[in-house]
Structure 1
Amino acid sequence: MLYAFGSNGRGQLSLGHFEDAYTPTPCLTPSLFPSVPPCEIAAGGNHTLLLFSSGECFVAGDNTGNQCCLPSATFPSLTTFYPLSGDHRWEHLSAGWSFTVLADYEGKIFVSGNGQRGELGLGEDIHDALLEEITDFSPGKVIQVASGMTHTLLLTASGDVWGWGTGRKGQLGEPIQSVVPRPRRVEVGFPVSKLDCGKDFSILLSRDDLQHIAVLGNDRYRIGPSLESRSGAGILDVQASWNGVYLLETSGTIKAWGKNDRGQLPPTDLDGVADIAVGSEHALAIVEGKTTKERKIITWGWGEHGNCGKPGGGDVIGEVFAPDIPAPKIVRIGAGCATSFVWAEE
């Protein structure tokens, strides 16, 4: 079952209404909703997408700019949009502030939504789209897509990175351009294994044994120099908030750098972490007991809209909070712009 909590002013939590949820609440789902957990959860400014291994995609929330890939206003509960053909399947997706990017199993890239800063990758003069393919672009096998507020990165199986959207801070590499309206290669000097987008920066992890890390763009919190002092391998995942970077290590610990005025960075003594999901200014983690292997959810950071799961809302600073999830088996987590999602089973 899917649970959600946090900001819900446009129905992005799929609760059937437009009120924030301060504790984990079961989502409304259609009758043909999959019984297996989603393989990807993407959450934009006010819209949410769930992708399943079957290639099906479900959406909820604000669709005033077609960011939910359907020609309608809002979706206060999850609904699916029809494939382009009977055998069409989606493989990866991402969500920016008011747009969505999807990669299909053939390596074709589609965009839906709006943006004035090249977010759609369709060219300088195209600012609105309804599930439109980026033509004349064949990056090869896609293994990850990530979006910040107004820029997108795409990673291929060969370790190449492509990007488009806002580039004035250098988040899309050199040469620095205010707007990159079409996909272009992002050069970082090494093949990439994982990446993510912050508000106006990009974080890229190499796939070599030392796992080098590059930060492109605005680095007001000097994350790059902090990462340069880190040596050795052992990184399972790298994720970015609007203003921070989080590394999940093989030891079950989290290393994080960036803005921390609302407790966005986790306590340094966390261990047993099996998975993380980083939102705009908060994060979730799945932690496992060393002997029992029992899983629970913990949260920390900015929680004004209830996205940390505290009854009545509120930030979680210098500690973690453990929201109560009615179903005991925690399987998957996701986080967005003040939104949190948990897939749990009996």
Structure 2
Amino acid sequence: MNNGSNRTVHPGCTGQPPLAMDIILNLDIFGIILYSVLTFMAVVSMLVFIEECIYIYKKVPAHKKSIIIWVNGAAPMIGSMSCLGMWIPRATMFTDMFSACYFAIVVFKFLILMLEEVGGDEVFLKRGQKHKLKISTGPCCCCCLCLPHVAITRRSLFLLKLGAFQFALLKAIFTMLSIVLYTNGTFDLSDLSITGAAIWINPFVGILTIIALWPIAITFMHLRVALRSLKIIPKYAMYQLVLILSQLQTAIINILALNGTIACTPPFSAPARGYMMSQQLLILEMFIITLVTRLLYRRQYDPLPRDEEDADNENTKMVALPESA
């Protein structure tokens, strides 16, 4: 019987991703230009980050240096790891894991950055004595408008930090667990069966991500007016953009590749080609974000008043909630 099931499949569509040398030997003129331009972008991103680190070390107060460097390094670090994954496709899973671990730390660092920009924990608590936190916000409870507002206390501040820190800690633990299971042959991103480790680990990490983003959103909604002069809104937008591009975009492309929507082009199988497209897009996107974040963080600002009574305008005050809250 002659039907579609008798069609032969190219060997390159079923095997592992090609070796780095195989890619280099098979590059055409367009491929050489594409790989050269993307590699140049990744190198420039890292050089811009190094130059920014030098500037921060010289100009920024000591208690903010490491935090700002961590946050600034998200885009160039992800771009550099994506460049390695582009040249060495068989290492893509590991480069993605490293990028995800780094960004998990950045999530926590961004919360600390907002607190430090307002003056630190003590100043935050002092300035927030008359205010309450609105916890009915995304990504967890944006539809739960009936949730009560929470007083700003040391306990609530600790819970906010804990919510973000758990992601940085547990993401590193699950990454090490995934690598150990991979060496044992029991962790495969393309294995979506109920007995596969990836189908259990990845959704759980996704839940941890949502939980970690919640305290960041709560803190940002409360401090967005007080920190407006420090460009906190575009900084938060860049942080969210890195999250969407590095996590959601990559997941969508990989799902499309696993479903066969992205066709195989030897020597790349469909999943490998999906990973390759994701890496190339990330290099370009992180390059642009690196340049934008450089403009946002390479600035000198006057410190905020330590007390709201000392503020000369409403733009340096926290967001006040109705008394009925």
TM-score for the superposition, normalised by structure 2: 0.24
Greater Cα radius of gyration, structure 1 or 2 = 2
More helix by share: 2
User: Whose RCO is larger (CA < 8 A, sep 6+)?
Assistant: 2
TM-score for the superposition, normalised by structure 1: 0.23
